[in-house]
Amino acid sequence: MLNKITIKIWQLKHNEVALNSAWQFFERFVGLGCSFIASIFVIRYFAPAEYGIFAYAASYVTLFSSLTSMGLQSIVVREVVKNSIPTETILGSAFVIMICGAVAALILAVSGALLTHEKSTTTWIILIMCMTNIVGSLAVINYYFQAKIKARYIAYIMLVQDVIDICIRIGMVHFKAKLLSFALLGLIESILVYAAIYLLFRSSSKLKSWRIEAKTIKFLLHQSMPIALTALISSQYMRLDQVMLEHFKGFAQVAPYSVGIKLIEVFYIIPSIISINLFPKMTALFNNVDKTPFNRYFQKAIIMYLASSIIIIILLFIFAEKIIFLLYGTKYYNAVFVLKYGSLCILPYFLAVITEIWIQINSMQKYSLYKTIAMLILNIILCIILIPRYGQQGAVAALVITYLISNLIVWIIFKDLRQLIFMKHNKTWRNL
């Protein structure tokens, strides 16, 4: 047994892909953990009305954040690996696109904030967060390390940042720092992290300078625009509810709503992790002439997603009040409703993930964009109708209804998918 373990460790050390994946997953896990723990201290420290300002600003900036990345990650990684265009030209051109997108996001976000909040604390926080996104344009270096299968070096830096961040935030709470200080901390950390990443790049890469080429910029924009558009629309319906909640009901209702939704979104990582392992297997089975193994595997996956989501929902319904009071205190009592009934989003979200796998396998990615647009329009309409009358309860209802209807639409459109999901006489269902 010991020998087998030793062999596995040796194989991992000598498998660059596995090693990088392991370090990235570990950093992501630690980062989420540190962020979650730090947020508990910060949220408990501020009153709901005050924390609502910060939560609103973060959601508002998220509406424009996709303009920074412009969907370039997969494109840059792919082109660096292919090496059909000089790497320094890819990096330089991608960086120009990303920084222009970040500046555009800043102008749009701050202009909108000045129109609605003038020169308030909210506007200053939005400005600082947008400046953080501008610094984040250097993420193009991260894409380079991913392409070279050296992403673990970025993970090392991020792990150090995760640990330092949680210590500083807890210290700031202890010394009663102002709300604006937490936004400034994010900016300072971003500058220091990307300075370290840039120095790592300069010391480990033979590329001494980046080149900007109009033809390459045009090519990258053409390739990334569908991805960027989908990401932009997705960010709208994921965070627009909090922006509209502030508009109709004020910051005090944004805080408990944000707290409840963030706790729900923690569970969204489960289907994402599962799908990483499911996708290659399903793709291989789908390519077979005989589709029976694929059908059975897909149906088993559906049951697994259904079972896990239902269990989570039941647990959150039972323990919602205890979870909120334990983590954030009684002043966030209104978050109990959000966590309890907002958890109903988990079921359609889990099903949407497995549906998305089917869509990708069948090379129908454009329908994902159509679905995202439909979800955005529906969510806006529901928020306008429900939030003015019911506040955060209306926002929760709008979100749940949007997720449910989006799944129904997909099942109605795709007859093959519907038949696969609701197949009544297949032995797979009875033999699971």
pLDDT digits (tens, 9 = 90+) for 394-423: 999 999 999 999 888 888 887 777 777 766
> Does 59 share its domain with 141?
yes
Domain that holds residue 171: 1-236
Mean pLDDT, the chain, whole residue set: 85
Q: Is the pLDDT higher at 425 or at 49?
A: 49
**Tens digits of residue pLDDT in 78-107:** 888 888 888 899 999 999 999 999 999 999
> Does 21 share its domain with 102?
yes
Residue 244 belongs to some domain of the structure: no
Give the chain's domain count.
Answer: 2
DSSP 8-state code for residue 289: S
Nearest of 152, 153, 101, 105 to residue 126 by alpha carbon: 105
Where does the pLDDT of residue 429 fall: very low under 50, low under 70, confident under 90, or very high at 90 and above?
very low
Where does the pLDDT of residue 229 fall: very low under 50, low under 70, confident under 90, or very high at 90 and above?
confident
Where does the pLDDT of residue 280 fall: very low under 50, low under 70, confident under 90, or very high at 90 and above?
low
Q: Phi and psi (nearest 5°) for 420?
A: -65, -40
Amino acid identity, position 132: T
Residue 408 belongs to some domain of the structure: yes
Where does the pLDDT of residue 322 fall: very low under 50, low under 70, confident under 90, or very high at 90 and above?
very high
CA distances from 21 to 17, 18, 92 (A): 6, 5, 26
**Tens digits of residue pLDDT in 138-197:** 999 988 888 887 878 888 899 999 999 999 999 999 999 999 999 999 999 999 999 999
18-43 average pLDDT score:
83
Residue 231 belongs to some domain of the structure: yes
107-125 average pLDDT score:
87
User: d(Cα 204, Cα 421) in Å, to the nearest integer?
Assistant: 50
> Does 12 share its domain with 74?
yes
Q: Above 60 in pLDDT, residue 225?
A: yes
**Tens digits of residue pLDDT in 330-348:** 889 999 999 999 999 999 9
User: d(Cα 102, Cα 94) in Å, to the nearest integer?
Assistant: 12
Predicted pLDDT of residue 425: 41
Where does the pLDDT of residue 15 fall: very low under 50, low under 70, confident under 90, or very high at 90 and above?
low
> Does 286 share its domain with 416?
yes
Distance of CA 167 to the CA centre of its chain: 24
Where does the pLDDT of residue 10 fall: very low under 50, low under 70, confident under 90, or very high at 90 and above?
very low
200-213 average pLDDT score:
84
42: CB partners within 8 A, 6+ apart: 51, 169, 173, 182
246-259 average pLDDT score:
90
User: d(Cα 328, Cα 339) in Å, to the nearest integer?
Assistant: 13
In the block, which residue shows the tokens 């907002």? 342
Residue 241 belongs to some domain of the structure: no
Predicted pLDDT of residue 312: 95
> Of 9-13, 277-281, 428-432, which has the strongest mean pLDDT?
277-281
Residue 245 belongs to some domain of the structure: no
Predicted pLDDT of residue 365: 67
Q: Which of 236, 260, 292 is the last residue of a domain?
A: 236
> Does 83 share its domain with 224?
yes
Predicted pLDDT of residue 31: 86
For residues 372 and 225, the answer to whether their CB atoms sit within 8 Å is no
> Does 39 share its domain with 85?
yes
Q: Which of 236, 264, 287 is the last residue of a domain?
A: 236
Residue 243 belongs to some domain of the structure: no
223: CB partners within 8 A, 6+ apart: 75
> Does 204 share its domain with 322?
no
248-276 average pLDDT score:
86
Predicted pLDDT of residue 411: 80
Predicted pLDDT of residue 117: 73
Tokens of 80: 């660096």
For residues 272 and 353, the answer to whether their CB atoms sit within 8 Å is yes
122: CB partners within 8 A, 6+ apart: 53, 56, 57, 113
Lowest-pLDDT choice from 106-120, 324-338, 386-400: 106-120
Count CB neighbours of 174 within 10 A.
10
Where does the pLDDT of residue 9 fall: very low under 50, low under 70, confident under 90, or very high at 90 and above?
very low
User: d(Cα 259, Cα 257) in Å, to the nearest integer?
Assistant: 5
User: d(Cα 135, Cα 397) in Å, to the nearest integer?
Assistant: 37
Residue 198 belongs to some domain of the structure: yes
User: d(Cα 232, Cα 64) in Å, to the nearest integer?
Assistant: 7
> Does 310 share its domain with 221?
no
Furthest CA-CA distance within the chain: 66
For residues 261 and 337, the answer to whether their CB atoms sit within 8 Å is no
For residues 241 and 395, the answer to whether their CB atoms sit within 8 Å is yes
> Does 174 share its domain with 287?
no
Query: What is the model's pTM?
Result: 0.81
Amino acid identity, position 81: V
Where does the pLDDT of residue 432 fall: very low under 50, low under 70, confident under 90, or very high at 90 and above?
very low
DSSP 8-state code for residue 197: H
Q: Which of 174, 206, 236 is the last residue of a domain?
A: 236
Tokens of 16: 């660059």
DSSP 8-state code for residue 385: H
For residues 273 and 411, the answer to whether their CB atoms sit within 8 Å is no
Where does the pLDDT of residue 358 fall: very low under 50, low under 70, confident under 90, or very high at 90 and above?
confident
CA distance between the termini of the chain: 31
Residue 242 belongs to some domain of the structure: no
Cα angle 83, 88, 93 (rounded to 5 degrees) comes to 100
> Does 8 share its domain with 85?
yes
For residues 242 and 257, the answer to whether their CB atoms sit within 8 Å is yes
> Does 28 share its domain with 136?
yes
Query: Coil, helix or strand for 290?
Result: coil
> Does 30 share its domain with 117?
yes
